[in-house]
Structure 1
Amino acid sequence: MEIFTADFLGSLLSIVVIDLVLAGDNAILIGLAARNLPAGQRKKVILWGTLGAIIIRAIATFAFVYLLKIPGLLLAGGLILLWIAYRLLTDNKEHDVKSGTSMMSAIRTIIIADAVMGLDNVLAVAGAAHGSILLVTLGLLISIPIVVWGSTIILKFIDRYPVIIVIGAAILAWTAAKMIVKEPFLKPYFKEEWITYTFELAAVILVTGIGYFRKKHQSRRKVIEQN
């Protein structure tokens, strides 16, 4: 993929939005894991915990870039991303992260929790990068300040403007659809451009539409239960 082309910039924008929507939520675990430590130790825990988490995420992301070249995995990854996009719209996420009582236990908690919670981010970034190591690297560089400094700001924006979640889910669904249409053994079904674009648009509309109405139904039911 050539640098500064429309495809490159579009993929980079997708990665930025994916990081904003997914990595921001993962960042909360850092504060939760370090909340019981003395103030003087928190900065060190955040620094080393984040560094360890970023290294694990970098290794996983580069691994996914190559794994997605295995026949069938683009389809599997695309289907998983469609589910992640749907869950992003319908889940009420609650963080239950054990707070560390020492620096090492807090750092260990951050690294392990991020490795588990960050799988969606890793798969999404690898899919949006379309095999470009440069895009993966840029995506990781973008995610670092988001994870370390941006979580509180991002979550405030998401609470104030819920449409950000819908946009993020739409981009995830679009990324998933693009992964599926690039699956080698499915190429005969997507020879015509209009079929490809129709499939991608349908994936976005179905995931965001079903997810949005499911979320409204959940909210309505919660209000009824409270009353």
Structure 2
Amino acid sequence: MEIFTLQFWLSVGAIILMDLSLGGDNAVVIAMASNRLPEKERKKAILIGTIGAVGLRMALTAVAVWLLTIPYLQVLGGILLIPIAIHLLAPGDEDPHIEASDNLWTAVKTIILADFLMSIDNILSVAGAANGDFLLVVFGLMVSIPIIVMGSQLIGKVLDRFPFLMYAGAAMIGWTSGTMFLHDKVLGPVITAAFGSWIETGLPAFLALAVCVLGYLKSHRK
């Protein structure tokens, strides 16, 4: 697609809006993962983690059509999101790789891992909007990055003041996990056929509640 055409810039605008609307939940996770770092380290973790996550997202977008052919990909992503949500509510647990931490590189790894898992739907949506034009994807992401980074820093400050909102963030991750099960190309239709249309909200709501309860119990155990 020619970059000096109206169609190109309309497509860029559509992808930017999609990145921002789909990236809101990622900004919350970035803020949660870096929430226990000192201010200076937090900004560094958000910047490095976001750059790493976006680089991985670009690479995956380039093979998005192939990703669609992998059975149970979204199921796997949904399963892996559940322990991430729980560990973000219960720092200092036995697994040092997916918890909110006061260590810079642990926070960076959490940001990249969580962003990757939560972005599978986003990647496929953006790839579809770009009609296979990788330049459009890159351009849209480059414009979206600073907005998501600034949003993450703002959310981090809100979490400092109201730490109980971490549960809202964890619930959002649990909800995303449930939607990924339902969007899986193989398992999604099977679940919907077996349980009916109510499962489309019932499963995400159940997982949102479950991660909050498990995170609370883990954080308060002796």
Q: What is the TM-score when the length of structure 2 is the normalising length?
A: 0.52
1:144 counterpart residue number: 145
Structure 1 CA distance for aligned equivalents of residues 4 and 61 of structure 2: 22
Contact 1:19 1:142 in 2 (8 A): no
Which protein is bigger by CA-based radius of gyration? 1
User: Identity of paired residues, percent?
Assistant: 47
1:106 aligns with 2:115: no
Structure 2 CA distance for aligned equivalents of residues 40 and 138 of structure 1: 29
CA RMSD of aligned residues (A): 3.3
Structure 2 CA distance for aligned equivalents of residues 124 and 4 of structure 1: 24
2:82 counterpart residue number: none
Contact 2:49 2:109 in 1 (8 A): yes
The aligned amino acid for 2:124 is L
1:38 aligns with 2:23: no
Structure 2 CA distance for aligned equivalents of residues 28 and 41 of structure 1: 17
1:53 aligns with 2:49: no
Kindly state the Cα deviation for residue 13 of structure 1 after the two structures are TM-superposed. 2.5
Contact 1:34 1:99 in 2 (8 A): yes
Q: What count of residue pairs does the alignment treat as equivalent?
A: 137
Contact 1:34 1:42 in 2 (8 A): yes
- Give the gaps of 5 or more residues in structure 1: 78-94, 154-209, 219-227
Distance 1:121 1:146, change over 3 A: farther
Kindly state the Cα deviation for residue 48 of structure 1 after the two structures are TM-superposed. 1.3
1:190 counterpart residue number: none
The aligned amino acid for 1:112 is L
Structure 2 CA distance for aligned equivalents of residues 115 and 26 of structure 1: 9
Kindly state the Cα deviation for residue 19 of structure 1 after the two structures are TM-superposed. 1.0
Contact 1:61 1:122 in 2 (8 A): yes
The aligned amino acid for 1:149 is M
Structure 1 CA distance for aligned equivalents of residues 104 and 3 of structure 2: 42
1:19 counterpart residue number: 19
Once the two structures are superposed, the pairs formed by residues 1-227 of structure 1 within 5 Å of their partners are 1-64=1-64, 67=66, 97=88, 98-150=99-151
Kindly state the Cα deviation for residue 18 of structure 1 after the two structures are TM-superposed. 0.8
Distance 1:3 1:44, change over 3 A: closer
Kindly state the Cα deviation for residue 112 of structure 1 after the two structures are TM-superposed. 0.3
Structure 2 CA distance for aligned equivalents of residues 37 and 2 of structure 1: 44
Kindly state the Cα deviation for residue 63 of structure 1 after the two structures are TM-superposed. 2.0
Structure 2 CA distance for aligned equivalents of residues 41 and 17 of structure 1: 29
Kindly state the Cα deviation for residue 139 of structure 1 after the two structures are TM-superposed. 1.7
